[in-house]
Structure 1
Amino acid sequence: MSKTSRLLLSSAAALLLASASPALADKASNTLNVAFSAEPEPLDTYKIAGREGLILARHVYDGLLYKDLESGTFKPALAESWEQTGPLTMEFTLRKGVKFHNGADFTADDVVATLGAVSDPAYGTRYAISVDWIGKVEKLDSHKVRITMAKPFAGAIEMLADALPIYPQAEFAATGSEGMARNPVGTGPYRLVEQEPGVRYVLERFADHYAGSPKSGATIDRIVVRTIPEMNTQYAELMSGALDWIWRIPPDQAAQLESRVQVVSAPIIRISFVNFALQDGTPLADKRVRQAILHAVNRQAIVDAFAGGASEVLKAACNPVQFGCAQDVTTYEYAPEKAKALLAEAGLADGFTLPMVFAAMPRPVAEAVAADLAKVGITLQLDELQYAAGVGKWREGQVPAFFSNWGSYGIGDVVFTLSNFFGGGADDLLKDPELTEWLTLADTSTDPAVRQEAYAKALKKIADEALWMPMYGFNVNYGLSNDLSFTPHPDEFARFWQASWK
């Protein structure tokens, strides 16, 4: 931590420690106070990219299934049982007696309406890979549905396990996506009772949450979530007792906080990367230029300075804990002289200017990448945007390089990374037919060996051609009130329904 940052932290803490009461008052009233730095997006889950909004949504909504990360097994949620009835068909028997927060009964109509709507391209679901495998959803009776897949998809059950929540049919039909964002109504363990979008959200424990839910057992009555962009304010409020939970604390600040509050560090599936667009006639169209960039960036030094903990430089375009993330690929050591030689071979010995949008990544990290590239003659023009705006510019082909991160929906399978970026979807500007063929095979096969072999081929080509610059895997530092019991998970979904007071 810099001297200036340390002074800011100390000064802010002193002010709040002098004026704020301890956390016991909120513990006594059974209210959990939470802060995010980034604004949660409107709470239609299908339109959300950031974890902040998705965390809130998973407290409000339920899916047909739920994945227990401790055991790696799928549990019944809104569906009490399910079976694969054919190569492309699954049938789900739904729970009876489930209530939505508005008092409406949950039935098959809600499943048909929700999954039918969000799988229609016209709906604009943020990530097509999450729903484009859904072909048809049919009501078999009031509490039974059949899903027919449009194509085989190895990640279907993973998606149905809380990533595809069910909305109340009548309200959804009347108000659509905008209505669900304005007035979220689900069957989850908490209901939203107040919201000032992007600023403050209040959730209350739902007394009629259905028996047998994998999210049952919540003991905290009320959750107040605020957006506080300034991290020093978060630190001070946590130490004073005005906050009980914060996250994504940089390593140096975490070290300063741990003598006063609980600091918990946990690895996550999320990775950071730089994606390259290969438009003809631009420097990045030359493989040697892309390879030079990978050799020019001292990724280990960046990890040491900004990530810490369990973070490591990535070899391949995925997290090594994910199924199918082959590690036997071409790697690029930090070698600025080799980078200069490659640029000279490409006729760019005098360097060039490269615009790069970065989103959902700290500015100091982007600046460190720029500083390394400057040493070999590449001038990086940095443009910092919110994630939605950044990914929008990337998809429209407006930027040659995009620096961001990807959480794979928190799922330990490369199907949710590789196909998103190289399988022909909106984020795939390359549209390489060979990669698409391999990934389609891997994504649709039920044979793990076939999947691993196909993913390995794709990862090898991505590395050989330097189509991506894998940066590093993440870990997250959480700051907690000393009174709070909270267990982090690698999917980055805070499960406040499992939290409790000591």
Structure 2
Amino acid sequence: MFQRAIKTVFPKLMLAAVIAASCGSALANKADDTLNVAFDAAPATLDGYKESDRPGLSLVRLLYTGLIQKDQKTGKFEPALASSFKFIDDKTMEFTLRPNVKFHDGSTLTVDDVIYTLNLVSSKAYNARYQNTVSWIAGADKLSDNTFRIRMKTPFPLALEMLSENLPIYPKAYYEGDVSKMGIKPVGTGPYRLASSQPGSRYVFERFADYFGKKPAINRIVVHILPDSNTQYAELMGGSLDWIWRLPPDAAKRLATKKNVVVKSESILRIRYIDINPAYQDGKSPLANLKVRQAMNHAIDREAIRKALVGGASKVINTACNPLQFGCSTDVQSYSYDPKKAKELLTEAGYAKGFSIDLVVATPPRSIFEAIAANLATVGIKANLIEQQYGTAVSAWREGRVPLMTATWGSYGIADVALSTSNFFNGGADDLVKNPQVAQLLKSADTSIDRDFRAKQYAAALKIIAAQAYWVPLWNLSLNSAQSSSLNFDIDSDEFPRFYKASWK
């Protein structure tokens, strides 16, 4: 689920040494119209239905195009491979295919390619990595040489989100009989084609001359796999790289002091939270008491911790979703930092002397939770920090063996609370609250294509979640990147670097 641990803070002296040792201009690659970027890990595959992490999926977005395209600034859905689209009913969409679209091998996109792709990747046999992107598809049917329909199993309001970039279309003739080629020798309709690759080391993309849409400004993109942060920083400073990302706050601050480097911080969909299990120990733990849960919310100075240890474009959140998402109502009960109020609530709940409880930390850095634990300790709650791998922590949570768990959640990069609030409170595996009223509100919103109705249902559910203090919402995260001062480029809030939008100054 695209989960990724935040990097530990880069040692100050080592980073200072790297920056001091670096020299030259970060303008070297503008002259040959080649954008050099670095990731710290190689993609497992270039098959968009099998890859799991954002670096690999970002490369997929260079190679392929979806049926529709979402404007990341306005949230509006626009035609792409499909020249038009419409809902026939709650479970059926009809599309007209754009004519004369070319694949990278020179073949022409047809309705048969679309039908082949969608029916293949939504099948159980194909076993797509992220089932929520394809499991809603009941089937795709050809109506004519330029029209087709997609049938849904149930009304699915996220259909447009999924059809925009999350469902790349593959050429049937090229892949049929050997689907492994999707991951190693991809052929798509995207703005760039894969010119060459050294898997695990280097990927070279060239602008596709026959791309049907707006041509990218930069001719060539070279993606380098450099696991060592020191090397990335040095090569950016020396001009061998034009762009790097996922910088820890300390590194971002120091790189920002160099005149040929621009550091950017983007507020993203990923949020950090503390999940509370009221049913822990069969409902006999302090967490079963509403006043205890409210006290925990009042005890944590979220803004001070965010400012000191998170920084960037992050912002404190008061609701169980990201305000950047559709349906994320902020008109809910909020809990200001008030340790006095927290102590009063604990006393009223019968815990004047406090209590001890485990807090499982599924994503670092530990320093954040040491600060949170210190806040809780001032009101009498001793939080025992237990660090676990994300998968291990989630398994224990779903089995009810964890009282408190903190992690981050990116909603698969989808700006809709169906993939945030609903994931945690609609009665599924991650929902240990099991509030039937909340679950019903969310399920009704998750299965309607009426946006006004959905917004009202989500707002009602979020009010209950906040009033019952089922979570401690902390903040949304920001993503730090550093780039050559000659480059025009920004990361979108869904954490995808869309390099086809980049240009030189």
1:265 — aligned with what? 265
1:13 — aligned with what? 19
Distance of 1:463 and 1:399 partners within structure 2:
21
Higher deviation after alignment, 199-208 or 298-307: 199-208
1:165 — aligned with what? 168
Structure 1: tracts of 5 or more residues without a match: none
1:220 — aligned with what? 219
Distance of 1:426 and 1:291 partners within structure 2:
24
Where in structure 2 are the equivalents of 1:89-488 lying within 5 Å?
Answer: 89-120=92-123, 123-169=126-172, 174-176=177-179, 180-193=182-195, 199-211=200-212, 213=213, 216-230=215-229, 232-260=230-258, 261-281=261-281, 283=285, 284-336=287-339, 338-339=341-342, 345=349, 349=353, 351-359=355-363, 361-375=364-378, 376-385=380-389, 394=397, 399-488=402-491
For residues 194-246 of structure 1, what are the alpha-carbon distances to aligned partners after superposition, in whole Å with 9 as ceiling and x for unaligned?
Answer: 5566x4341312435432x25x334231322324353x443332222122112
Distance of 2:66 and 2:192 partners within structure 1:
14
Distance of 2:49 and 2:9 partners within structure 1:
43
Higher deviation after alignment, 366-375 or 484-493: 366-375
- One-letter code of the match for 1:474? L
Q: Is 2:34–2:218's contact at 8 Å kept on the other side of the alignment?
A: no
Q: Is 1:439–1:455's contact at 8 Å kept on the other side of the alignment?
A: yes
For residues 66-93 of structure 1, what are the alpha-carbon distances to aligned partners after superposition, in whole Å with 9 as ceiling and x for unaligned?
Answer: 1123444322222122222233211112
Higher deviation after alignment, 98-107 or 67-76: 98-107
Which structure shows the higher helix fraction? 1
TM-score w.r.t. the length of structure 2 is 0.85
Higher deviation after alignment, 481-490 or 29-38: 29-38
- One-letter code of the match for 1:236? A
Cα RMSD after superposing both structures: 3.3
For residues 145-196 of structure 1, what are the alpha-carbon distances to aligned partners after superposition, in whole Å with 9 as ceiling and x for unaligned?
Answer: 20112222222212211122223335655455x6534444432222345556
Q: Aligned residue pairs: how many?
A: 491
% same residue:
45
Distance of 1:244 and 1:433 partners within structure 2:
51
The offset of 1:351, in angstroms, is 2.6
Distance of 1:427 and 1:121 partners within structure 2:
23
The offset of 1:133, in angstroms, is 3.0
Higher deviation after alignment, 475-484 or 350-359: 350-359
- One-letter code of the match for 2:192? Y
Q: Is 1:27–1:501's contact at 8 Å kept on the other side of the alignment?
A: yes
Equivalent residue for 1:86, pick from 77, 89, 101: 89
2:5 — aligned with what? none
Structure 1 residues 252, 148: closer, same or farther in 2, change over 3 A? same
Structure 1 residues 438, 61: closer, same or farther in 2, change over 3 A? same
The offset of 1:28, in angstroms, is 3.0
Structure 1 residues 208, 462: closer, same or farther in 2, change over 3 A? same
Q: Is 2:249–2:311's contact at 8 Å kept on the other side of the alignment?
A: yes
- One-letter code of the match for 1:95? R
Structure 2: tracts of 5 or more residues without a match: 1-7
Q: Is 2:270–2:409's contact at 8 Å kept on the other side of the alignment?
A: yes
Distance of 1:37 and 1:15 partners within structure 2:
21
Q: Is 1:13–1:237's contact at 8 Å kept on the other side of the alignment?
A: no
3-state SS of paired residue (1:55): helix
- One-letter code of the match for 2:18? A
Distance of 1:296 and 1:278 partners within structure 2:
18
Where in structure 2 are the equivalents of 1:58-73 lying within 5 Å?
Answer: 58-73=61-76
Structure 1 residues 369, 180: closer, same or farther in 2, change over 3 A? farther
3-state SS of paired residue (1:46): coil
The offset of 1:11, in angstroms, is 0.7
For residues 378-427 of structure 1, what are the alpha-carbon distances to aligned partners after superposition, in whole Å with 9 as ceiling and x for unaligned?
Answer: 33333253x56665665566655443323334444323322222234454
Distance of 2:383 and 2:9 partners within structure 1:
29
Q: Is 1:101–1:206's contact at 8 Å kept on the other side of the alignment?
A: no
Distance of 1:104 and 1:396 partners within structure 2:
51
Distance of 2:303 and 2:434 partners within structure 1:
30
- One-letter code of the match for 1:239? M
- One-letter code of the match for 2:90? P
The offset of 1:347, in angstroms, is 5.8
Structure 1 residues 153, 381: closer, same or farther in 2, change over 3 A? same
Structure 1 residues 122, 255: closer, same or farther in 2, change over 3 A? same
Structure 1 residues 138, 63: closer, same or farther in 2, change over 3 A? same
